[in-house]
Amino acid sequence: MAHPVTTQTAQRPTPVQGLTATGVTVRFAGLTALQDVSLSVGRGEILGLIGPNGAGKTTLTNVLTGFQRHGGAVAVDGQDVTGWSPQRLAGAGVRRTFQNVRLFTGMTVAQNLEAAALGVGLSRTAARTDTAALLERFDLSGHADDDAAALPYGLERRLGVARALVGEPRYVVLDEPAAGLNETESDELLSRLRAVPEQFGCGLVVIEHDMRLIMRLCDRLHVIDHGRTLASGSPADVRANPAVIEAYLGAAAAQHPDAVPGAGVPEVTRHG
């Protein structure tokens, strides 16, 4: 007897898109650096991660990019990547920059990009093509053959960001990309970063103390203090949040982001 034909319309849950951290906790000996922090960033989105010195921002960056063991979970577009090494995560499209740019010394600007592209698994031909495109997009073509170690500071930071974008990453975490830049350089970085999600199709997490930059750049902000989430939402909502004003921004800065004490300078201390 012929069996009736049944069509299996499997009701698979739609994978959660984005780079997500769920219930992340990190303890260093007696110190709780992160306590039950959850956040997510989608492709095409820019998320700002802000908070006072020692709040846990770099520790969270390390968690998201595989440099820090932790409790809780990290996922990339629905795939659990908890415990993956930085190299494996980079291969899966999760990249980062460091507070202090770590360029490959003894190499030119172009060689820095090419080496990074080879490092994430591109073929030599693809690495060359990618390098040429990045040099162009970041206005570095005129410096392609310069010794990277001899670049002026602003260009060094620009190269650091470009290098994190080799090989079409899915998500990039930028740790204080504007640190030490003057106002003009910071504004120039802002317009470059603003274009990145559309140009590269990736999501950005930006850790930054420069509130002039962060308030203009980000679609959403996530604020942490003492290792816990203090607030999250649009820049306007976060700027008006009394707890954020109290812990971090200060009243004057909340009303006039250009007046943030130390804007453009990495050292912003707790208020109150």
Ligand X SMILES: Nc1ncnc2c1ncn2[C@@H]1O[C@H](COP(=O)(O)OP(=O)(O)OP(=O)(O)O)[C@@H](O)[C@H]1O
- Output 175 or 185, the one with its CB closest to ligand X: 175
Q: What is the footprint of ligand X within residues 17-36 (CB under 6 A)?
A: 28, 31, 33
Residue 153 binds ligand X, judged by CB under 6 A: no
DSSP secondary structure, 158-224, as one string: HHHHHHHTTT--SEEEEESTTTT--HHHHHHHHHHHHHHHHHH--EEEEE-S-HHHHHHH-SEEEEE
Residue 97 binds ligand X, judged by CB under 6 A: no
Q: Nearest distance from residue 199's CB to ligand X, in Å?
A: 28
Collect all residues with Cβ–Cβ distance below 8 Å to 2 and sequence separation of at least 6.
none
Residue 56 binds ligand X, judged by CB under 6 A: yes
- How many residues contact ligand X, by CB under 6 A? 11
Residue choice 51, 66, 177, 180 for contact with ligand X (CB under 6 A): 51
Residue 177 binds ligand X, judged by CB under 6 A: no
- Cα–Cα dist 48/89, whole Å: 21
Contact flags string 106-125 toward ligand X, x per CB under 6 A: --------------------
DSSP secondary structure, 102-165, as one string: -PPTTSBHHHHHHHHHHHTT--HHHHHHHHHHHHHHTT-GGGTTSBGGGS-HHHHHHHHHHHHT
Residue 81 binds ligand X, judged by CB under 6 A: no
Residue 54 binds ligand X, judged by CB under 6 A: yes
- Output 176 or 185, the one with its CB closest to ligand X: 176
- Cα–Cα dist 9/163, whole Å: 43
Residue 58 binds ligand X, judged by CB under 6 A: yes
Residue 241 binds ligand X, judged by CB under 6 A: no
Extract the tokens encoding 30: 């007696």
Q: Nearest distance from residue 207's CB to ligand X, in Å?
A: 7
- Output 140 or 221, the one with its CB closest to ligand X: 221
